[in-house]
Structure 1
């Protein structure tokens, strides 16, 4: 039996756009011979009643152990402060950043383009192959 690598991932997301996050997780779950640990906190375990400082520390704890930080470009514009915090922290730790171009989008936010080690289109094979290259 082959020994598959288990990738540790953080998928940046915003609850207003949880359907994109869920689709991303479904892509990863459906990929054959791809095992990963999701270090992102899903909506049903969101941090209620936390101060900004506490929330930032929780995000740091989620990002610290991962091999790749995934940023879905379409979420950046509406949630740039939090996503920029995640990008900045990933860069501080030297974590590779994978930018995902939203389906049908021609343009990615400049902050994501500048930070990303690689940008791929919204499809399972592109995403999984990029994670394997970056990890």
Structure 2
């Protein structure tokens, strides 16, 4: 009789990536696609590889993060791309965009320096990813998804 109202909102996300062929990035965007009742627009692209210095990198990142509501950091990239990940998190703070950390695939812990700069840390469950994004942006908490 009463159907649950569908969420028609498009969530504007910046998702860290090194290349669109990156396995962790592909796995994560696949989970977003699998999430029920969740629409998103990805504002990140892989144009960062052409950046020759930190200023150029910051400018490229800033232009991608500007229209995003939320910054998603795939923390599994951190060991190899520390400067990129820290630059993304620092820009998110400067631009007052909440950051959500995704644990490295198959692991529980994230580096504490990343956790300090984020609003939460979650795993790889499609439903928890969607619920956590909605929760951060709509001031709602899903008790089934641990932050």
Bucket of the pairwise TM-score, normalised by the shorter protein: 0.7 to 0.9
SS in 2 for 1:15: coil
Larger Rg: 2
Question: Once the 2 structures are TM-superposed, how far is the Cα of residue 47 of structure 1 from its aligned partner?
Answer: 4.4
The total of aligned residue pairs comes to 132
Identify if the C-alpha distance between structure 1 residues 133 and 120 changes in structure 2 by more than 3 Å, giving closer, same or farther. same
> Tell me, which stretches of 5 or more residues in structure 2 are unaligned?
138-147
- The reply on whether 1:57 has 2:59 as its aligned counterpart is yes
Is 1:36 the counterpart of 2:37? The answer is: no
Partner of 2:11: 7
For structure 1, the residue ranges without an aligned partner over 5 or more in a row are: none
| Bigger relative CO (Cα 8 Å, ≥ 6 apart) | 1
1:110/1:16 CA distance change after superposition, 3 Å: farther
Shift of 1:56: 2.1
Output aligned runs, 1:27-106, within 5 Å: 27-42=31-46, 46-47=47-48, 49-52=50-53, 53-106=55-108
Give 1:51 shift. Answer: 2.9
Verify the 8 A CA contact 1:17 1:75 in the aligned structure 2. Answer: no
The change in CA–CA distance for 1:16 and 1:41 in structure 2 (over 3 A counts) is closer
Partner of 1:118: 120
* TM-score normalised to structure 1 length: 0.87
Greater helix share, structure number? 1
1:66 is displaced (CA, Å) by 0.7
